[in-house]
Amino acid sequence: MEQTAIKFTENIIEDFVTYWENGAVWMTEQWCTILDEDLSKYDYRQNSDIVGARAVCRVGLLTKHFDNGQLAWTIEFDEYGRGTKKKIPQFQKDGTFIALV
How many domains are there within the chain?
Answer: 1
pLDDT for 14 equals: 82
pLDDT for 11 equals: 62
pLDDT for 38 equals: 83
Does residue 50 or residue 85 have the better pLDDT? 85
**Average pLDDT taken over every residue of the chain:** 84
Residue 9 belongs to what domain range? Answer: 2-98
Query: CA neighbours within 13 Å on the CB side: how many for 44?
Result: 20
85 — phi, psi (to 5°)? -90, 5
Q: Provide the sign of the torsion angle of the four alpha carbons 66, 27, 45, 101, taken in this order.
A: negative
d(CA 1, CA 82): 26
State the pTM of this model.
Answer: 0.77
Give mean pLDDT, residues 47-75.
87
